[in-house]
Amino acid sequence: MTKERMIIPRSEYDRRIAAIQKTLNEENIDLLVTHACECESANVRYLTNFWAVFDFVGVLVPREGKPILLTGGPESYDFAVEFAQIDDVRVHPMYVETSAPEWDKPTNPWYYPAILDEIGQRFPVKRIGIANTNIIPYTIMEDIKKGAPDAEFVKADDLIMKHRWYKSEIEIALLREASKITENAIARTVDMIEPGVREWEIQAEWMSQISKLGAEGEGYHCWITSGPTTYQSLCQATDRIVARDSMVQLSLGAKYNGYCGNMCRAIVLGELPEKHTNMIKVALECTQDTIAKMGPGVPFADVYNDFQKKLAHYGFSGLNLYGPAHGTGLQECEGPWVDNRGSLILEPNMVFNIDVWIADDQYGVRFEDGVLIKGNGLEELSTWRREMIHK
């Protein structure tokens, strides 16, 4: 008998809203507006447990009072009423999908002028914080400005992200489960990798395994790449047949109730060129050293600088994309980023993916595992065969 999925209780979402409102008052911001689409749902899901399908969605958090969820069309309205952990759900026609029908079912449309007028009955809306500034549509911003022509608009992406840096007990439990599913599914998938299979067949096996193990889906559009495309940091599985004397790069992560596990492993079939073999060995050493270095109170800069020294020692300077670790949670890749561009330190309840990527224009490799910073050290969320896996 399969076990029930863990869920985040309504009280957790209420706590998050209250914490955001406390920050809004501290920052003298009257209203926070977030935005989400199907591929960028994290902030809205963090606040409400609702994720966009087809239509777009926004959540308005006033500095006092109840939040409002806006989405487009009657389908998304019913969907949001069922799943969103807030009570005030409304249809805003500008949040509808890009190729939408003319609805036969009646809706009660709300535009920003009416919404902001309603909020303005309680307090003046003078400063509006906009999160997801890189994806919020121009038409929606124009509608917000119609409702608040004299308001000051401020970039508020970091305001919500900094709350997401620190995971609660239930979030940590979900990340542990996402990592466990990811790890077990990869172990089962590696068994079928051999010369002659196609990249998409490996991915199909992986997706079947995570579904059987209880995942809601992939944490991101995962991929398998092999042979001549392992140097690509982002890729997708293709019809390519896996060949003898090549490497297969697994970049895979399961999503469990919104939270993302992730692992990257290198599968070696036969013999590789010495340059590629050395690159894999250095990436593994950097991964292990980064894990050994990380712990509560350690400056980000120390971890990053040690990583760069290691790359330089082996002649791989400039072949990485960024630092050796980044935050993870509702997005597989989210802030904070471990680098030397600030004064951040590792703190308890932060969760990171150790993400060591090295590539030139011919070969590449990535190792990735999740870790939790604890008060007394570090917990590794995935460990399976952190090695050059030979088959």
Residues 148 and 210 in one domain: no
Find the CATH number of the domain harbouring 123: 3.40.350.10
Q: Given 130, 164, 198, which residue is the final one in a domain?
A: 164
Q: Which of 67, 66, 108, 115 is nearest to 91 (CA)?
A: 108
Residue 152 sits in the same domain as residue 191 = no
Domain count, the chain: 2
If we measure between CA atoms, which residue out of 199, 104, 168 comes closest to residue 349?
A: 168
Q: Are residues 48 and 62 in the same domain?
A: yes
Domain-embedded: residue 1: no
Q: 70 and 184: one domain?
A: no
> What is the rounded average pLDDT for all residues in the chain?
96
CA distances for 185 relative to 265, 329, 375, angstroms: 13, 19, 30
| pLDDT score of 1 | 58
Same domain as 173, residue 143: no
Quick check: is 3 in a domain? no
DSSP state for residue 275 in the 8-state scheme = H
The residue among 164, 185, 200 that closes a domain is: 164
Structural domain containing residue 185: 169-390
pLDDT single digits (tens) 103-140: 878 788 999 999 999 999 999 999 999 999 999 999 99
Q: 351 and 284, same structural domain?
A: yes
Of 140, 164, 188, the position where a domain reaches its end is 164
Same domain, yes or no: 145 and 174: no
Q: Using CA atoms, how far apart are residues 204 and 186, in angstroms rounded to an integer?
A: 12
Are residue 186 and residue 303 in the same domain, yes or no?
yes
Residues 71 and 157 in one domain: yes
**4 inside domain:** no
User: Are residues 214 and 345 located together in one domain of the fold?
Assistant: yes
What pLDDT does 34 receive? 98
Residue 210 lies in a domain: yes
**Same structural domain, 68 and 180:** no
Say if 36 falls within a structural domain.
Answer: yes
> CATH number for the domain including 366?
3.90.230.10
Residues 241-265 have pLDDT tens digits of 999 999 999 999 999 999 999 999 9
Q: Per residue in 164-222, pLDDT tens?
A: 999 999 999 999 999 999 999 999 999 999 999 999 999 999 999 999 999 999 999 99
Which of 145-173 are b and which e, b meaning 16 or more Cβ less than 10 Å from the residue's Cβ? eebbeebeeeebbebbbebbbebeebbbb
Residue 381 contacts residue 370 (beta carbons within 8 Å): yes
Residues 336 and 382 in one domain: yes
Question: Measured in whole angstroms, how far is the alpha carbon of residue 212 from the centre of its chain?
Answer: 22
Does any domain span residue 252? yes
Virtual CA dihedral for 174, 180, 185, 187, nearest 10 degrees? Answer: 160
- Residue 147 DSSP one-character state: H
- 27, part of any domain: yes
